[in-house]
A and B are shown apart, each in its own frame.
Chain A
């Protein structure tokens, strides 16, 4: 079935929903596991639920153009809340569920939300905290009423009550009028960017942005009704909006919501999605846990696994790409699949994945190849909120770990003199809400948008390769190129290293902070009879430092081979005594390192790395999950790494 072109009446998400009701009315549109059972809602149910909520919002007095904040974990009812908002001409604004109260307060204030729809007591509490300074917020609607019985209900209602009032209201005519008033340029959604620098910005996306992008990307990967996705990534993230609303509405596939955040892996296995997205850290985490369990397995199993994986690594990617493979290798792969990869894929919940994507950060080549070897069609894409996700993606058969693919359908790309990547596409955002200045500095008159990333288009293949954030790419004191992310990514490809931050702009050499991965290093410590009582103690254990030193040396050796970036080798490093954390402002909520904040906060450590001292005493303030602050102190060892000379330069 090819869906009609949006030139017809399909110019909004509610319009697509009506089409889906007509075409697949009785098929499952949303599922959620609750009380241990997968509950389903058909497209017809979804239409009824969203109508009821939309009417209820009308009863509460929602005007066209109002912003409605939505905050909570992935649940069908919250996705419907977004569609209900669109039905009455309001703008849904999903917010990050783990955001602190002040971050929520900022967003609510900035968009002037009159209504907020919260998942549970935790979110209601945060909104209540934020509410003190707000004049615009009128009413809070909550989904799970547990623990809220004793709250003041004068400006608060349950989701079901609002729906009931809506059903009884008789405002259907107003609703129909509001829905019909939507056109292709009406605002579809507003999403706050996580903000690697400064305050989050509200990215306004139109129906055109969302629907065109969903259509193009769905056609690119042949997504269709009957596909299954698991919605587990934050609802405030543009990717989740496109996968769980945009593409789901366009193609009519089914969106599955996990029972709770802790059951995600079990739910993944039960659903067996055919279309799956995960950031690299999820794939890394899964691989690490598989490897740890294999190391604990018996000798026979380990041998079988290693042997089968060797065949898979050699043959699997070629099979996926449709390249010729000899009969014997095919046979071996089949046997391996029967005995090893089949059950493994099933355990990981990836048996049925037809299209898998990863993005957000670079993924380690070994990790990437591991999944491809298993026969999982894992690909990379490059995108951002301002582009409604897609800028480039990898077509089937042209998948590699070091590129991010070719421009997505409808997207044009150019590389500026400075190396910064620019794009122009149907998905290009309308504006930053209430921020004309930033809009103008990001998007020029012709519609070209600066990505803020530096990269180049590879000769021959036309694939885009990203080196680093454009503003992070600097110069060393000797004029050599400094691209910290390039080195950090190489370091992070080691399972023992969770995060790395490299410094060196304007200096004569580079130094690094390293975070160990507690799961991997903890397991290694256990196997090697190394006792530790805390993260801090483990991080400073001489043998851990030795191991990390080995990794750093190996990375230096590989960096030395790059003609442009050989100056970025790490001369000295230390292992941090705490994990970098979004609660402490060291990372964004999407777990991207905030370089400037870290540089400032650990200023003393950087000084020590450059002044040649062999250890440094430091005090660090930490914020606990409930917002309280504490202090930790530590004495950190500083190690020198081996530096290699560039062979070509030396020759």
Chain B
């Protein structure tokens, strides 16, 4: 694996900064089952970091550790140079981490706009009562947040469905709305759980474009789980490969592609 200095510039001209999140010797157990076994890796500022692996490799569990939903029995999570104590999800959100879900978790009965607005909750200070009266500060605050949301709607090109209830949208668009909601929180670290699952080729291309644009335009660090190897190899700066809860590879897409353990995990090993 390449030994990287504090920060470097990629071939396409993006600056990758210092370590944003550092996972140190993480082990996660559910009863007797070890979902993650002693895994360490880091995520750097400004990079697109992928976690790949066959079904049941522990990818989603890993993402849930990063997002603070699971607390590992062994190991430490360091964020922005500080060790992170066990946290509630809302505390993690406050730290600037937002995510999307493998099985879309939107409010089906609410419009796209309202769904994306919920992503701004962290930026709103006024209480429920003031917001219900919609007077003074609450009104100003909503206007400011609406503007931020409209910019994201424009960015992801979902203007045409702004007022449509989410329940009526096709799957590919729901995924995009979920991304919009995550972006509305203006996260420093964006976690995407299988952003392309169940999409056709064209939708995948679109989604890849948006992920790259988000990373490029807002400088957001992205950590994603994905099945589609082609997409992962094209998108990411560095890839962690997991198999049966173990880390079997870590490096640039090219390094990972040439790794014998990875090839074995994906294509199977010949038994004599």
Contacts and interface: CB of A to CB of B under 8 A. Distances in A.
A260 B161 CA distance: 11
Interface in A126-157: 146-147, 149-150
B12 interface: yes
A303 B14 CA distance: 63
Interface stretch (B31-39, B60-68, B81-89, B147-155): B147-155
B237 to A, nearest CB: 15
A263 B216 contact: no
Chain B interface bracket (under 10, 10 to 19, 20 to 34, 35 or more):
10 to 19
B155 A260 contact: no
B13 interface: yes
Interface in B1-47: 12-14
A260 B160 contact: yes
A260 B157 contact: yes
A34 interface: yes
Q: Which secondary structure characterizes the binding site on chain A?
A: loop
B151 A146 contact: no
Interface string A249-275: 000000000011011001000000000
A149 B14 CA distance: 10
A263 B159 CA distance: 7
B162 interface: yes
Contacts of A259: 159
Contact of A35 (B14, B147, B217): B147
A266 B164 CA distance: 12
A146 B213 contact: yes
A146 B159 contact: no
Contacts of A150: 12-14, 216
A150 B146 CA distance: 29
A266 B216 contact: no
A147 B160 contact: no
Contacts of A149: 216-217
A21 to B, nearest CB: 30
B160 A35 contact: no
A616 B159 CA distance: 45
Given A34-B154, A35-B150, A146 B160 contact: no
Interface in A21-67: 34-37
Interface in B127-179: 146-147, 150-151, 153-155, 157, 159-160, 162
Nearest to A265: B160
Nearest to B150: A35
Chain A interface bracket (under 10, 10 to 19, 20 to 34, 35 or more):
10 to 19
B154 A263 contact: no
Best-buried of A36, A259, A262, A266 by chain B (most CB within 10 Å): A36
A562 B216 CA distance: 65
A266 B154 contact: no
Contacts of B160: 260, 262-263, 266
Nearest to A264: B160
B64 to A, nearest CB: 32
A146 B13 contact: no
Interface in A146-186: 146-147, 149-150
Contacts of A34: 154
B159 A262 contact: yes
A146 B156 CA distance: 11
Contacts of A260: 157, 159-160
A146 B209 CA distance: 11
Contacts of A147: 209, 213, 216-217
Given A260-B160, A266-B160, A35 B154 contact: yes
Interface in A402-455: none
B157 A36 contact: no
B208 to A, nearest CB: 12
A262 B154 CA distance: 12
Nearest to B209: A147
B213 A36 contact: no
A35 B151 CA distance: 6
A262 B164 CA distance: 13
Interface string A619-641: 00000000000000000000000
Contacts of B13: 150
Contacts of B162: 36
A45 to B, nearest CB: 21
A34 B213 CA distance: 20
Given A35-B154, A36-B146, A266-B160, 6 more contacts: A36-B159, A36-B162, A147-B213, A149-B216, A150-B216, A262-B160
Interface of B: 12-14, 113, 146-147, 150-151, 153-155, 157, 159-160, 162, 209, 213, 216-217
Interface of A: 34-37, 146-147, 149-150, 259-260, 262-263, 266
22 contacts: A34-B154, A35-B150, A35-B153, A35-B154, A36-B113, A36-B146, A36-B150, A36-B159, A36-B162, A37-B150, A146-B155, A146-B213, A146-B217, A147-B213, A147-B216, A150-B12, A150-B13, A150-B14, A259-B159, A260-B157, A260-B159, A263-B159
